[in-house]
Homo-oligomer: A and B are copies of this chain.
Amino acid sequence: MVRYKKSEEKRKQILFAAFQALSELGYDSVTLQTIADHAGVSKGVVHYYFDSKEAVLVELLEWLTGKISAKEQAAVREQQTAAGKLAAYIDSAFPGPAKNRTFYRVYLDFLSRASRIPVYREINQRFYDNCARISTEVLTLGQQEGIFAEELSPDTTAPVIRAIIDGCLIQWLMTDNDKLHAVFKESCYTAIMKVLSV
Contact = CB atoms under 8 A, between A and B. Distances in A.
Interface stretch (A3-11, A70-78, A90-98, A101-109): A101-109
Interface stretch (A12-20, A38-46, A81-89, A187-195): A187-195
Contacts of A117: 26
A163 B171 contact: yes
Q: Which of A157, A168, A187, A191 has the most CB of B within 10 A?
A: A191
Contacts of A171: 128, 159-160, 162-163, 166
Q: Which of A128, A163, A176 has the most CB of B within 10 A?
A: A163
A174 B114 contact: yes
A112 B27 contact: yes
A57 B121 CA distance: 25
30 contacts: A25-B116, A26-B116, A26-B117, A27-B27, A27-B112, A28-B28, A104-B115, A105-B115, A105-B116, A108-B112, A111-B170, A111-B174, A115-B174, A121-B174, A124-B174, A125-B174, A128-B174, A156-B187, A157-B187, A160-B187, A163-B164, A163-B188, A163-B191, A164-B191, A166-B170, A166-B171, A167-B167, A167-B170, A190-B195, A191-B191
